[in-house]
Structure 1
């Protein structure tokens, strides 16, 4: 059983989505099941509606789940498990104040030693605990022996007990800490493999210790995915625009392209361009590199162009708001062919939309239009009367040259503006066969 357990505290990060996609693929490969758990116990940081946004985003990327949980609904179980540990003397009430702990941390720092909780409250008698009216947290006693666990990417990981102190599992407000809630939930929900970012590696021995202390002895597999670096080679921050899945989608990058790229990051795959369904046939978690992967927006855009080319006419037309242009439905195939041609200079749906909007709607207020207005009007008049259905590009060009008596730049610049709303772009000889089936609609939209 696999799980994806995001917190509803902000926009989904590409690292989170990468973990979700890989967990989902692995669950499909071994048919063990997939859980979506929203970890909403940090009420101070939760953002209203983010849980639903997470669900909608996952659906957009083709991820579905067999079980759904809100972590806060498990609070009573977290408290029951904490009480069980206290009653078995495996955990204890700690009355140390924040100020007292901070002073001890500063002392350790001054002495050049790593800080570890010194066990001040661990030896308190039952009566000392009952008679103490100060707020308290619950700490789990530190492990007494080394821990090892298998990581499908990193190999065997080893943790000495002195590197883990008696850590807090329940706060003074009777809410669980991240590690305790996470460990208990994974235990109760029957999770058997945890795939997450390597920044959680240090949490793993604590969570293993929690489950072992509760008497849970079923083995857990792990895979800690290497971090994603930004284009400068530094750890990508959640504040960077590129790290936000929403930002990438708003840029006009297809979900299938983002998924393709994230599964390709630091991975060995038999092909570069693929869908989630195709990845199911060859994805192998063990082939992911141990080294950090660097995010490359140019590579993602190149992948996006390839996926745009693979879209069927209906889907591409919908992405490009075909209906808003008021074109005849029988022109969708010609429209899609034109759009795919423009991927040679447009990498996103937004860029393509802008190119095609320009073809069907000329901006008469632009500086370029004002410069060539007379020539454009002249060419438009000729074009609306020209029968060019049987003309190839040379014939089309020669007819316009003859009838307009324009030459050189005074001909080609206004013609390009008339047809594409831009002075730059693909060669008109290549573009003309694609524009020809749409010419009446182009002229009608622009000049009615």
Structure 2
């Protein structure tokens, strides 16, 4: 089973979505079910109902999964197993305050050394621990030798004991921290493969070490993707959807920037067929929203006209075709909807065209139906004092809300059935 973990303390962001997409791709490639694990043990910082929003967004991206589990559901196992480790002296109570831990961090920074716990509480006697009434966390004891994980992209990666550190497994409220919870849950659910990013590699080693302490020797393969280097500047996934980026285009872009020489337009189904771990790039990625816009535009161009019109709140293939005429100017569904909505709205008064507009509207109220724009122009020219160039300028304004835009000869055949409603 392939495991994808999301946090209940934050909205789904672009980096996490990318990881989810690759978990999905790999699960399909390996023909293994996908499990979504909700990290919800940080009760104080959890966002109410965030898991519902996350799952709905994942569904938009067609990320099918067999099961959703919550880390908090396994609390009794987490606590039972940590007691076993404490009995074996592989874990211990830590009474150090936040102030003390912050001092260690500052000292490490000043000395330009890795931040790690000094192990003070690991030396406390059982009697001292028993007689101490201060709140405590529970730490996993630092390993005695290096810990090695298997990365499908980078091969074997080893970490020294000081890098693994004596990490916190249970917080002061005795709720498990995400690394410890994941280590235990991956055993419970028989996880075989995990996709994450490079920043989680050290945590994969901690999870592997924790399971080894429990004599769990089933191998778990990891795939750590290079991180998006400017990820902090990105808005969450819901923002992109609300701004009119198609899920298919977002997925296309996030996969393409992660693979070597993969910049064409494709669907997830396409990439699953050709996917090879060796094709993943091994250096950090820069998110370029202009490139996303180009791919989004391509996906809109390829969309069925009727489907596009329904997304724009219509049910007419001609409206979908009409919207595509504006892709020379805009690149998102939101922008296209603004263009189409404006066509059907009453336009602001134009002082320079005012007299011509009144004359043209009067003529149009009496005009028969015309299939051809040139025939309509000829009729208006014969029944008003307006010249041909004036007629086209006025109609363009009454349709688009400005005097410039796509050629009216291309627009008219798509709105001819609505022309009386538009020019009223």
Q: How many residue pairs are counted as aligned between the two chains?
A: 424
In the TM superposition, 1:316-327 aligns within 5 A as 316-322=308-314
Is the counterpart of residue 20 in structure 1 residue 20 in structure 2? yes
Alignment partner of 1:356 is 2:337: no
Q: Which moved more, 1:344-353 or 1:54-63?
A: 344-353
Q: What runs of 5+ residues in structure 2 fail to find an aligned partner?
A: none
Is the deviation greater in 261-270 or in 81-90? 261-270
Find the partner of 1:236 among 231, 236, 239: 231
Q: Aligned in 2, Cα 1:151/1:439: closer, same or farther, shift over 3 Å? A: same
In the TM superposition, residue 278 of structure 1 has moved relative to its aligned partner by 2.4
Using the alignment, how far apart are the partners of 1:442 and 1:395 within structure 2?
14
Find the aligned partners of 2:417 and 2:102 in 1 and give their Cα distance: 76
Once the two structures are TM-superposed, the CA of residue 289 in structure 1 deviates from its matched residue by 0.7
Match of 1:121, SS? helix
Structure 1 residues 131-210: aligned runs within 5 Å: 131-210=131-210
Cα distance in 1 for residues equivalent to 2:112 and 2:245: 50
Per the normalisation by structure 1, the TM-score is 0.87
Change (3 A) 1:281 1:445: same
Displacement of 1:251 after TM fit? 0.7
Distance in 2, Cα, partners of 1:289 & 1:140? 34
Classify 1:385/1:62 alpha carbon distance in 2 versus 1 (closer, same or farther; 3 Å).
same
Partner of residue 232, structure 1: none
Distance 1:166 1:9, change over 3 A: closer
Which runs of 5 or more structure 1 residues have no equivalent in the other structure? 230-234, 324-331
Asked if 1 retains the 8 angstrom alpha-carbon contact of 2:159 and 2:202, the reply is no
Counterpart of 1:301? 293
**Partner SS state of residue 174, structure 1:** coil
Question: Once the 2 structures are TM-superposed, how far is the Cα of residue 390 of structure 1 from its aligned partner?
Answer: 5.4
Distance in 2 (alpha carbons) for counterparts of 1:280 and 1:113? 42
- The equivalent position to 1:428 in structure 2, one of 386, 404, 408, is 408
What is aligned with 2:243? 251
Q: Deviations over 1:334-356 (max 9, x none)?
A: 22222222222231112111211
Deviation (angstroms), 1:310: 2.3
Cα pair 1:151 1:224 within 8 Å, conserved: yes
SS of alignment partner, residue 297 of structure 2? helix
The structure-2 alpha-carbon separation of the partners of 1:182 and 1:398, relative to structure 1 and needing over 3 Å to count, comes to: same
Q: Deviations over 1:61-84 (max 9, x none)?
A: 111211111111111111011011
Q: Secondary structure at the match of 1:6?
A: strand
Question: What residue number does 2:355 align with?
Answer: 374
Summarize the alignment of residues 39-78 of structure 1 with structure 2, pairs less than 5 Å apart: 39-78=39-78
Rounded Cα–Cα distance in structure 2 between residues aligned with 1:265 and 1:111: 37
Task: Confirm or deny: 8 A CA contact 2:377 2:388 kept in the other structure.
Answer: no
Tell whether the 8 Å contact from 2:14 to 2:236 is kept in structure 1 after alignment.
yes
The alignment's C-alpha RMSD in Å is: 2.3
The answer as to whether partners of 2:61 and 2:251 remain within 8 angstroms in 1 is yes
| Contact 1:253–1:349 (8 Å) recurs in 2 | yes
Query: In the alignment, what sits opposite 1:341?
Result: 325
Q: For the Cα contact (< 8 Å) 2:381–2:388, is it kept in 1? A: no
Instruction: Find the counterpart in structure 2 of residue 292 from structure 1.
Output: 284
Q: Say if 1:74 and 1:269 are closer, same or farther in 2 by CA, change over 3 A.
A: farther
Q: Distance in 2 between matches of 1:29 and 1:356?
A: 41
Q: Is the 8 A contact 1:194 1:221 kept in 2?
A: yes
* Deviation sequence 1:388-430 (CA, Å, 0-9, x none): 6354x44444443443333476444312112322222112233
